[in-house]
Amino acid sequence: MKRKKVTALLAVMAMTATLITGCGSSADTQDTAETPQAAEEASDKESTEAAETSGGAEAVTIWYYWETEGHQVALDQVIQEYNASQDQYEVTAKYVPFADFKKQLSIGASADELPDIAILDSPDHASYVEMGIFEDLTGKFDVSSYYEGTVNSCTVDGKLYGVPFGVNCLALYYNEDMLEAAGCEVPTTWDELKETAKKLTGDNVTGLALCSVQNEEGTFNFVPWLWSTGATSYDIDNENGIRALTFIQGLIEEGVMSKECINWTQGDVMNQFISGNVAMMENGPWQIPTMQAEAPDLNWNVTLIPKDAEYSSVLGGENYAVINGRNVEGALDFLTYATSEEKVKFMMDKFGYISADKTIAENQFEADSPYQPFVEELNYAMPRGPLAEWPSVSDAISLAFNQVITGTATPEEAAAQAQSTIDGIVK
């Protein structure tokens, strides 16, 4: 095909926010001079202009919610390179605020004004599938080399309704100097973790911290401990679920984790770790660029989250979804291009993510890279859901988690209350 260059510029937005990866995952945003409303208007205008200059090329539109400038620029570059590589399709992208995403898709479905591709937070994928607007990609896109958890996040009733974009998960960071000074080995089990945290606590330092806010971010940080016992997100009021809540309660009661964690986002936990107020923390790979830039002399490393019965972590990140009745062939052509190893590595580097394609992820980083433990952790990471009512289930879990931290309920009481709420949602 004839090569051409058509610039499809994405608007650069202004906002400071925390994205869950997938909570999917968390990523710090940057301030720019333009407001989200102005950015959206600019994006619409640029999309129209691009369509007008595309000649006979078929339009393919993408909706996304990323507010971070670096994310937008990386996606824009891949779009421009794709448009320059062929002349059959012309891709443009539009920013839709995260809070308005589902509403805009609903309105678009009614008005027949949907995009061809939507980029979604992975735990929300099932709720969008319920709207009936996603193309069934079963047999149309090969995801056999992708991590099982990432594929599960966009699979409903055995059918594939998306393609994983990029992923992250949680692991355990530790201050190497503090562990060495205390004569501690890197913990691998809950018992070892608690004993190590005890030895590291003192002189305004707590041994462990994890984000415990009462929302999806808190749930994201608690479920690896819940799942490690063998419990599930939907079956908490049992020996395993109570054991997970009791373990967290014990960390607070023994003073090795601060009750202030109920007010700390994942970014706050990182800042406490950088400041030397916390010796170990549960956190994600998106914090690594900030830590390397802001604390270049801090001696730290990463390992798997210590286990109870089994290793566990939680999956964050986004998925691509193709809208049915739109330009499905064009969307799939772009996704084939964007999921090639070269483009995936480029975008994952800019996002601080790990490839959802296991064959790419395994060669994405050097052996001594701090990202490498997260690649290993992905083998144990599971998605939240997939369930259309996941947000309500998440609320019940984070409430139980908070109740045992604040002491407003025993683990048994919190588990029973959460189970009653969850049963009303999923049964």
Q: Is the peptide bond before 386 cis (omega within 30 degrees of 0)?
A: yes
Q: Which tokens sit at 394?
A: 């998440």
Residue 109 pLDDT:
84
368, pLDDT greater than 60: yes
User: How confident is the model over 36-75, as pLDDT tens digits?
Assistant: 444 444 444 444 444 444 458 999 999 999 888 888 999 9
Q: Calculate the CA dihedral of residues 39, 40, 46, 47 and round it to 10 degrees.
A: 150
DSSP labels for 60-101?
Answer: EEEEE----HHHHHHHHHHHHHHHHH-SSEEEEEEE--GGGH
Q: To the nearest whole percent, how much of the chain has pLDDT over 90?
A: 73
Residue 55 pLDDT:
59
In whole angstroms, what is the distance from residue 18 CA to residue 20 CA?
6
235, pLDDT greater than 60: yes
386, pLDDT greater than 80: yes
Q: Which helix (H) or strand (E) holds 365?
A: none
Residue 350 pLDDT:
86
The one-letter amino acid code at 242 reads I
In whole angstroms, what is the distance from residue 249 CA to residue 254 CA?
9
The one-letter amino acid code at 53 reads T
Residue 69 pLDDT:
86
User: How confident is the model over 167-185, as pLDDT tens digits?
Assistant: 999 999 999 999 999 999 9
pTM: 0.79
Residues 395-398: contacts with CB under 8 Å, at least 24 apart: 395/215, 395/421, 396/421, 396/422, 396/425, 397/219, 397/222, 397/223, 397/226, 397/233, 397/236, 397/422, 398/213, 398/214, 398/215, 398/216, 398/218, 398/219, 398/222
The one-letter amino acid code at 424 reads G
User: How confident is the model over 323-351, as pLDDT tens digits?
Assistant: 999 999 999 999 999 999 999 999 998 88
The one-letter amino acid code at 323 reads I
Q: Which helix (H) or strand (E) holds 211?
A: none
- Name the residue with higher pLDDT: 401 or 350: 401
Q: Which tokens sit at 48?
A: 């129209």
In whole angstroms, what is the distance from residue 53 CA to residue 16 CA?
34
Q: Domain-by-domain residue ranges, the chain?
A: 36-168+316-382, 171-313+391-426
Instruction: Please determine whether the domains at 36-168+316-382 and 171-313+391-426 fall in the same fold group of CATH.
Output: yes
Q: Which fold has domain 171-313+391-426?
A: D-Maltodextrin-Binding Protein; domain 2 (3.40.190)
In the CATH scheme, what is the homologous superfamily, with its name and number, of domain 36-168+316-382?
Periplasmic binding protein-like II (3.40.190.10)
By CB neighbour count within 10 A (0-12 exposed, 13-18 middle, 19+ buried), where does 406 fall?
Answer: middle
